[in-house]
Homo-oligomer: A and B are copies of this chain.
Amino acid sequence: MQLTKGVEQALCIIVLLATQESSAPLASDEISKRLGVSPSYMKKIIRKLVVQGIAVSVSGNNGGVSLAKPAADITMLDVIEAMEGPIQMYPDTGLIGLAFHDKQYTEKGQELLRSVFSQGDRLLIEYFSKVTAADLLKEGLGTSNLPTLNWNRETLSDVIDKERDDDK
């Protein structure tokens, strides 16, 4: 009943991309360094985000990854499903049918159990589809002006502090 680490990693990647200067795609090797995993593994994670439509990637010189859409349009559900596939709690191995041979009752029971769990699935789907990456960034950083920076050079607090000064 736990999400995989991949979800956490994906969320970190999204934070990086959301605060990256939009002109410059961020190289996956740079992300891998920052998250402490191998470049090739990071490319796999990123690939999942690309397939899901969360990120876009360009090969070649000065290539890299960037967000496919505004952070406000990226939901936690998108991220979770990108990494783990559709939310579906019940393993459903058909055990009930195997254990009780009375077809008449087991089919009804099986169906009932499926519907109980899929109702649980729906609760999560509904909840997570309402939380966006933008929500996380806004509340986490304490500012709705998303700072942009080049993650090759700068740190986060440099930029946020600069924005704060600008506001005065």
CA distance A5 to B16 in the complex (A): 37
Q: Verify B91–A12 contact, CB threshold 8 A.
A: no
CA distance A127 to B118 in the complex (A): 12
A63 close to chain B: CB less than 8 A: no
Partner of A112, one of B88, B90, B140, B155: B140
A139 close to chain B: CB less than 8 A: yes
Chain A contact surface mostly: helix
Q: Verify A157–B104 contact, CB threshold 8 A.
A: yes
CA distance A127 to B119 in the complex (A): 9
Q: Given A89-B2, A89-B3, A156-B102, do A12 and B95 touch, yes or no (CB 8 Å)?
A: yes
Q: Verify A124–B128 contact, CB threshold 8 A.
A: no
12 additional A-B pairs beyond A3-B117, A12-B95, A105-B156, beta carbons within 8 Å, are A1-B1, A1-B84, A3-B90, A4-B91, A15-B100, A16-B99, A36-B99, A108-B141, A112-B139, A116-B136, A120-B124, A123-B127
Binding site for B on A (CB under 8 A): 1-5, 7-9, 11-12, 15-16, 34-36, 76, 80, 84-85, 87-93, 95-96, 98-102, 104-105, 108-109, 112-113, 116-117, 119-120, 123-124, 127-128, 131, 136, 139-142, 155-157, 160
